[in-house]
Amino acid sequence: MASERSPDQSLSSPLPPGTVQVWVGGRRHNPWLWWLSLVVLVLGLGGGLLLLVVSFRWGLQLMLDPEATPQVQGLWGRWHQEELPSGRSLTEIEQSLVAANHTLGEPVKLSPEGDREALLIWPEIEVASGAIATLHLLNRKSQAGGQDSFTVLTSVPVPAVSPTEVLTPLWSRSQTEAVVTGVFLPTQLTPLPLPASLQGSQDSGDRRWLTLEGRSPYQGVTLRYGQLVGVDLQRQTLDLLDLWSSPANRLPYWADLDSQGIPGLLVDQTLGLEPSLQGWLLTAGQLQPISWFRVPLDAGPQAMAYHQGLRLARSGLWAAAAEKLATLKPSLATQWNTAATAQLDLINRHALLARQQAERSYSLPTQQILALLVDSRWDAALTHLEADPTLLPALMRRLERDQGQFWSRVSAATALSEVEPALYVWGGIALKAQQNQAAAQDWFNRYGVSGATKQRWTTLVRTLDTSPVALAADQQPSDLAIAPAAAQTPLAGVQGMVGVARPLDGVTPDRWHLPPGQGAGSSLGAWYAIELQGVRQTQWQTAWLTTAKSADPSALWTALVSSGAIPLQLLHWASTTEGRAIDLSVRGVRVADGTITLLATGPQVSAMPLPALAFSQGALSWLEASQSQPVSPESLRQGIEAAIAPRPLTPQALSTWSLDPGTVRQHRLDLTGNGQLEQVLTLMPAALDQLQNLGLPVDRTGHKTLILGADQQLLYSNLFSPQTVVALTTPGSGSALGLLVHQAGGYRLLAWTETSQRFETPGNR
């Protein structure tokens, strides 16, 4: 039995045994709380019902159409860009961006001309950097009276791209990783329309393709990079797709795969002699990457053979890979599909590029040998080397720096049914370069190499003990430091060179040492005389130049060619901060009046604000303007005051001192090799104008550079001297960089000096 007790009764009052106690609250009901609870309940039920409906709709849409997922990205884009007004005029939209220091770039029209309604992609530009911050898909309606109204359909923010994302495809192919600061920022939106011959092959005609793109100097070339963009006109969505990079400075381009009307989008990633094409297959309105890992069909018992063909492709044995897949194609005819066609076509394109490289004529014998190796012509390359064994040290240095592509090619070639004996010689050369002679002997024993083949290797290796150039091959090069002059082995090899190039109206062959068979005709291009001003062995220095000035020109030419420091490139300056690299072919050398001058040919160039700079590929690096970072007014003030400390401003000038941060570029990177980031400030003409108006005798021969340490200590300044920093020496882990400066018509290298904590000429240490 239950008994009720009032809350007013004593808790200590006894109850009869077996009694069950029930507490009944006697609180007063608050009407406001009741109504609030009712509202929360209604909202919760309504929100849950809405979420259930939306989830069911999206789930059903995904089951019926797996490609419906981009709709989600379009929805998030609309939420992200609430600040961009819709249904407004172009002027109103532009005014809405002013506060964020943004503006509209050039639109790309996606609809036919003359339509009253048109779809546009309009990039939103960040004014300070010129980079594209957001892509807007807009619908334009033409109103009476010529007034257009724009509706935002979707907006997608464009993220900055890290150097690793852009450069990893290059570093994975025999390329040494380089230090690249900042981020890559796309500055242009470019349509990629399908050629008329391929338009009818699309499964869906409502897709358009574009690319974001930008450019940046990289290892002496202009690297073009970007991100593919896909637009679905029917769904009115816009998607950012795969990243791409092209050291060949080429846009992605459409190709007819295997001449069967199958559209493929290709990017030329070739850097140096190693061919590299990245490809996508256009199928069902989507871009699918062409893979070297996946068998794209049911190959049955021949799946293993297909995998072997793809492995040959991954290893760079393009001709052998093409032959392998072409042999399998007839027996897989019923399963063969467009993805397999795309793989075989892309392999054939690589094989063609490798063959064309091998059949070209090169001014440098080492290049000729390397091109033959890329095309797997092992015996032909070895025969060239045996004809001139002095080339071996330079080739071994190249193989020592190989990131695995060469050895992957050698290893895969040993599994072929027919193996050229010369292949084992090249394997032995690579193992001696990367490990030691014992590793090479183990390699020969493992494959049972014949005595005659081992003798070819032994004969070549013996030349290393007598070649004066070879003495530099055992040194471990550091691409970063600049050392004071020191005694060097006469005519030892060099890894890099810089010099000033000047055009020649004509060439008098008698005044130059030209190798046999080298002509001096005008058909070779424009002629340049390159006066060497710095060389790099283990470090940048001048001692080699001093020794080489008294050498015989023929011995000097042999040392230069064998070193691998040439060919050279010429930097065509568009301004004192921007330039474009052009390949040069070195033809000869001359020693006269204590100066070493190289003779080279290349394209004709126009007048430049700075002397033409000639340099070895990979020897120099640059600070890219698009990768600069904003500088705070306080940090800028500290840097300027440190630089002008010897010439302090008057109290009146200091009270009004102010410098616009937008006129200064800032980069942060480790210049001194101490693991800390230094601050590099580049003062542009507008900033120099302001300093000059304060009464400072600022030099106006070019932009000015200040370098500050982590504690704001001034490490370098050319604010008051006729000197311009134009490049950095290519760095490496834990070592200091050098500064290449232009002064008095030439170029000079400055080294980081630990004792004085400044960048100075090597002779000042």
> What is the per-residue pLDDT across 45-84, written as a single tens digit (0 to 9) for each?
665 555 544 444 444 333 333 333 332 222 222 223 334 6
Sign of CA pseudo-dihedral 573, 579, 585, 586: positive
Give the residue-averaged pLDDT of 654-664.
70
CA–chain centroid gap for 39, Å, is 57
pLDDT at 566 over 60: yes
Give pLDDT, residue 492: 62
Comparing CA positions, the residue from 164, 271, 176 lying closest to residue 495 is 176
With a CB cutoff of 8 Å and minimum separation 6, the contacts of 178 are 167, 218, 219, 618, 621, 730, 731
Burial class (CB in 10 A: 0-12, 13-18, 19+), 106: exposed
The answer to whether 697 and 647 have CB atoms below 8 angstroms apart is: yes
β-pair type (2-4, 20-22)? parallel
- Alpha helices, H only, 6-68: 31-64
Q: Is the pLDDT of residue 236 over 80?
A: yes
Judge whether residue 366 has pLDDT over 50.
yes
Burial 538-554 (b: 16+ CB within 10 A, else e): bbbbbbbbebbeebebe
pLDDT digits (tens, 9 = 90+) for 538-556: 667 666 777 777 777 877 8
> Got the DSSP string for 602-624?
E------SSPEEEEETTSEE---
Q: Which of 269-283, 535-549, 595-609, 739-753 bottoms out in mean pLDDT, i.e. has the lowest? A: 535-549
H/E run at residue 407? helix 405-413
The 10s digit of each residue's pLDDT in 214-233 is: 887 766 667 889 999 999 98
pLDDT one-digit tens code per residue, 417-430: 899 999 999 999 99
Phi, psi of 296 (to 5 degrees): -90, 15
Q: At what angle do helices 405-413 and 303-314 cross, to 10 degrees?
A: 140
pLDDT of residue 383: 95
Mean predicted lDDT score pLDDT of the chain: 77
pTM, rounded to two decimals: 0.58
* Span of 95-109, 184-198, 349-363, 616-630 with lowest mean pLDDT: 616-630
Q: How many helices (H) and strands (E) in the chain?
A: 20, 32
Which candidate, 743, 741, 742, 765, places its Cα nearest to that of 752?
765
For residue 614, give every residue at least 6 positions away whose Cβ sits within 8 Å of its Cβ, in sequence order, or none: 497, 498, 499, 500, 501, 528, 530, 568, 569, 570, 571, 584, 598, 600
Per-residue tokens: 714: 């001034």
Question: Residues 593, 602: contact at Cβ < 8 Å?
Answer: no
Buried b (16+ CB within 10 A) or exposed e, 51-69: eeeeeeeeeeeeeeeeeee
More confident site: 261 or 625: 261
Tens-place pLDDT, residues 7-28: 333 333 343 433 333 233 333 4
Report residue 156 as tokens.
């997608």
Q: What is the DSSP string of 526-548?
A: EEEEEEEEEEESSSEESHHHHHH
Which band of pLDDT confidence, cut at 50, 70 and 90, is reported for residue 312?
very high
CB 599 within 8 A of CB 586: yes
The Cα–Cα gap between 431 and 445 comes to 13
**Does 137 have pLDDT greater than 50?**
yes
pLDDT at residue 147, rounded to an integer? 75
DSSP code of 390?
G
Q: How confident is the model at residue 488 (pLDDT cuts 50, 70, 90)?
A: very low
> What are 688-707's pLDDT values in tens digits?
888 888 778 888 888 899 99
pLDDT tier for residue 399 given thresholds of 50, 70 and 90: confident
Whole-number Cα distances in Å, 673 to 235, 751, 753: 53, 12, 11
Q: How far apart are CA 142 and CA 104, in angstroms?
A: 19
CA–CA dist 162, 212 (Å, integer): 15
Within the chain, what is the greatest distance between any pair of CA atoms? 131
Neighbours of 327 (CB within 10 A): 12
What is the end-to-end Cα distance of the chain in Å, rounded? 104
pLDDT of residue 11: 31
Rounded alpha-carbon distances, angstroms, from residue 163 to 171, 179, 226, 267, 484: 11, 9, 12, 18, 33
Q: What are phi and psi of 218, to 5 degrees?
A: -155, 115
